[in-house]
Amino acid sequence: MDVILRAAWCLVLGLEESDLSDSSNFFTEGGDSVTAMRLISAARDRNVALDTETIFNHPVLMDMANLCRPMEPDKDSEVDPRPVELDRGVVKACAEACGVQQDLIEDVIPPTDFQCYQFDQHIASGSFMLQTVFEISGAFDLDLLRQTWQVLHDKNQILRTRLVKHNDQILQVVVNDMIQWGTGCGLADYKASDIDKRVGSGDYLFRYAIVTEGDRSFFVWTCHHAGFDGWTRRLIMDKLQKGHSDPTELRSEPNGPTFRSFVEWSASQSDDKSKAAAFWKQYLAGYRLLESIQPPTPDYVILSSSQFSRTIEMKKTAGTNSPFTLSTIGHAAWAVAVGSLWNVADVLFATVKMGRQMTKDSALARVESIMGPMMAVSSVRVGLRKDLRICDFLQQMQGQLIATIPFEHEGYSALMDCFGVGAVLPGMIDWHPLGSDLFSRTVQHMAPNGEVSYLKPRIELSVNFTSNVSMLVDIYEHEHHLNLRVSYDAKIWEEKLIIKLVDTFSDIFAKMLFSQDFTVAELLLGGAVGTTRLKARL
């Protein structure tokens, strides 16, 4: 088994077998949550059963190999659910709502709870719309751009999905149609009119346009969050680049797994949902919200429309030999920052999970390739023991993040049930692993004459989505730094408090990354005394 697993490690980590020993640690060799997900897939391709808990709790190669087991090939594991015969009345109603012929309705699927929530909130406040602007430079092939998007549209059902209200229910409707491209002259005017268009019943979740501004051209991609998550955007950027590097290869790829497969998997977890409800009830019991941070009125509708960003530099060698992921260190640093600023030992905040890290008993085949909003919101509750060494604190944090995986898809509803829809927590962390920052990626195209042109996302021209979360903290990993982008409701959070929280987090994160040989108390102390003690340690 260790020979098979060693080969899978080499594949996902980009190593040679000679680079590994029996005592090699997956995370010190460069592994993270993304490579862990890919390792599970690589193991499955070799008929070896592996899961996230085993990888994180037993990261040493030989230990992991000893816990792997042969997997019987499942004939149905690599195919999407069989087509379902659709109710003709429902199809007719959906076709009318979408403004298409009935024979173009490919599938009708129940939505996830998150999709329903996002759709309802969008109708009420216009939230959850993301507008990304790409500048087109050089002789970029616009026909190829349109063709590439159409290939992605055809191969991935979520890109052809619309939400329809029918008999007081929301349905996901997959339409077998062509992309309707928009055009415009004047970027500012187009952006303003486009972002103001609410997505109603039967409307497109994704909009595409080529807009000119003098002698400059832009591609504007507008998306409703009910159709994507961070991982989906990463997959799309990968496919966009492939479509401009080798369009024939992209067209020859099999269709992507459908979002229906996730919806049906989720429905099959009904027994686990009751377990999850019990887990979260016990997990959240006894926690008291921060009294100093509350909405201005009891019926206030939260909208995170203010923005703040920060770049946190990391030393090139920092964390190289750490058995903990940057995400684990980041979550731990946020917990200590909150505890330090509010002088509390019981800390609770939310975190966005990819939703694709399955347990051994409820795996979903090809989960890493599914496009669609599979993210989950989980809670992180930390008791800050001052005498705990940071290395032990990080081990505790990593263990907790893994332990909540089986229950994460019920995490947000549990939070709302416990504290109410308008509850304010000190942050919702959305940690994006290396390679996930869309604004650091550029699509390149080389013409037959060798001329290279670019499709480059422009963050200063794009419009981030607003949400009904009082403070959403997006943290993007890069090779030598983190990009931190905070969306917050300025009527709840003063900017100076956001800055203080980010400053404190940045300082604690850097110290944890550099050394883990001190205690939580020394981080919580802050000020001259804490700094003196830390300097003595470091």
In a domain, 82, yes or no: no
Note the pTM of the prediction, 2 decimals.
0.90
User: 275 and 166 in one domain?
Assistant: no
Main-chain phi, psi angles of 104, to 5 degrees:
-90, -10
Q: Is residue 478 classed exposed, middle or buried when 0-12, 13-18 and 19+ CB atoms within 10 A define those classes?
A: middle
What does the pLDDT read at residue 474? 97
Return the amino acid letter for 354.
M
The tokens of 527 are what?
A: 């000020």
From 42, 70, 98, the end of a domain falls on: 70
In a domain, 451, yes or no: no
User: 181 and 205 in one domain?
Assistant: yes
Provide the CATH number for the domain around residue 218: 3.30.559.10
What does the pLDDT read at residue 79? 47
What does the pLDDT read at residue 337? 96
What does the pLDDT read at residue 152? 98
User: 48 and 185 in one domain?
Assistant: no
In a domain, 79, yes or no: no
CA distances from 402 to 363, 442, 496 (A): 15, 33, 34
In a domain, 172, yes or no: yes
What does the pLDDT read at residue 350? 97
The tokens of 185 are what?
A: 């002259």
The tokens of 66 are what?
A: 């000893």
Give the Cα separation of 220 and 391 in Å (integer): 45
What does the pLDDT read at residue 44? 85
Measured torsion, CA atoms of residues 222, 408, 301, 110, in degrees rounded to the nearest 10: 60
Q: Is residue 196 classed exposed, middle or buried when 0-12, 13-18 and 19+ CB atoms within 10 A define those classes?
A: exposed
User: 126 and 228 in one domain?
Assistant: yes
User: 410 and 301 in one domain?
Assistant: yes
SS3 60: strand
415 DSSP β-pair partners: none
User: 334 and 234 in one domain?
Assistant: no
The pLDDT tens digits for 85-133 are: 788 999 999 999 999 999 999 999 999 999 999 999 999 899 999 999 9
Q: Which residues of the chain have pLDDT under 70?
A: 72-83, 270-271, 316-321, 360-362, 525-538
User: 355 and 234 in one domain?
Assistant: no
User: 50 and 99 in one domain?
Assistant: no
Provide the CATH number for the domain around residue 346: 3.30.559.30
What does the pLDDT read at residue 75? 42
What does the pLDDT read at residue 271? 67
User: 478 and 338 in one domain?
Assistant: yes
The tokens of 10 are what?
A: 């080499």
User: 246 and 176 in one domain?
Assistant: yes
Domain holding 12, by residue range, is 2-70
Based on the structure, what is the number of domains in the chain? 3
In a domain, 444, yes or no: no
User: 250 and 103 in one domain?
Assistant: yes
In a domain, 445, yes or no: no
The tokens of 250 are what?
A: 């992209």
What does the pLDDT read at residue 71? 79
In a domain, 228, yes or no: yes
From 244, 262, 280, the end of a domain falls on: 262
The pLDDT tens digits for 429-461 are: 999 999 999 999 999 999 888 999 999 999 999
In angstroms and rounded to an integer, the radius of gyration of the C-alpha atoms of the chain is: 24
From 229, 262, 295, the end of a domain falls on: 262
Provide the CATH number for the domain around residue 19: 1.10.1200.10
User: 172 and 50 in one domain?
Assistant: no
Give the Cα separation of 322 and 25 in Å (integer): 9
SS3 content of the chain, % helix, strand, coil (to 5): 45, 20, 35
CB distance 31 to 59 below 8 Å? yes
- For the chain, give the number of residues: 538
In a domain, 78, yes or no: no
CB distance 164 to 107 below 8 Å? no
